[in-house]
Amino acid sequence: MLLDNIEAAGALTLPLAQLVARLRSMSVASLDAQADAIVSLRFAEIDPATAPFLMAALQVVWTDIASRIAVSDLPYLDTPGVCPVCGSVPVASVVRVGGPFDGYRYAQCVLCATEHHVVRAKCTNCDSTKGIAYHAMRTDDADDTAQESEEEQARHAKNAPLKAESCDECGTYRKIGYQDKAYASSLTPTISPASRSTC
Ligand SMILES: [Zn+2]
Ligand SMILES: [Zn+2]
């Protein structure tokens, strides 16, 4: 169905048409083997061309499964940094705005889309509260030709709707989005799954 929708969306470039044909020709066994390698993060075995399509299909299946599991049935995990439903790593985390959970930060699973609460100023990979730092890209309206002063850099970093949260303890980083800052700017408040950066 995913491939049907891609083909129905309009004319495909030759490389994409060839890729769709390759996906259609894959056996169930090879699809299963690729899916297993993707979910298990065995990067050396993953075909990078077909992986985005297989991951998209896996996300649909796992999100449906996760949506039918009662929160009360979820175990308490003593393993930091993984989804309580499926054990995958988060794609990113988002600090919410509005409602009773205003200002709370949630990590979103890369596979089943489950969001679980992780307190702020804490590494979403190893749970450390030490050595956490935030890094921001320059905003789109920043003049690339001009040298920003330290004050301007600090202001841009403070107001950025999307940052990288790094951890000195485990040496990883993950993207963190701020809905209030996304609302304040002209950017969409939704943090796109495409903004993935796992560690
Ligand atoms: Zn999950
Ligand atoms: Zn860490």
pLDDT at 58 (0 to 100): 95
Q: Which ligand has the nearest atom to the CA of 131?
A: 2
To the question of domain 78-195 being in CATH 3.90.1670.10, the answer is yes
pLDDT at 57 (0 to 100): 94
Q: Are 192 and 198 in contact (CB under 8 A)?
A: no
Residue ranges of the domains in the chain? 2-67, 78-195
Query: How confident is the prediction along the chain (199 residues), in pLDDT tens digits per residue?
Result: 788 888 888 888 999 999 999 999 999 999 999 999 999 999 999 999 999 999 999 999 999 999 999 988 888 888 888 999 999 999 999 999 888 889 999 999 999 999 999 999 899 999 999 999 999 876 555 555 556 677 777 777 778 899 999 999 999 999 999 998 876 654 443 444 433 343 3
Q: Give pTM, 2 decimals.
A: 0.76
* Ion ligand 2, residues whose Cβ is below 5 A away: 123, 125-126, 128, 167, 169-170
In whole angstroms, give the CA distance from residue 180 to residue 173: 22
**Residue 183 CA, ligand 2 centroid: distance in Å:** 29
**Residue 176 CA, ligand 1 centroid: distance in Å:** 18
Q: Are 164 and 174 in contact (CB under 8 A)?
A: yes
Q: Are 80 and 122 in contact (CB under 8 A)?
A: no
Sequence-distant (6+) residues with CB within 8 A of 169 are 123, 126, 128, 130, 131
In whole angstroms, give the CA distance from residue 77 to residue 54: 28
**Residue 131 CA, ligand 2 centroid: distance in Å:** 8
Backbone angles phi, psi at 54, to 5 degrees: -70, -40
DSSP 153-183: HHHHHHH-SEEEEEETTTTEEEEEEEHHHHH
Q: Which own/partner contact pairs does 160-164 have at CB distance under 8 Å and 24+ positions apart?
A: 160/136, 161/185, 161/187, 162/136, 162/137, 162/191, 162/195, 163/134, 163/135, 163/136, 164/134, 164/135, 164/136, 164/197
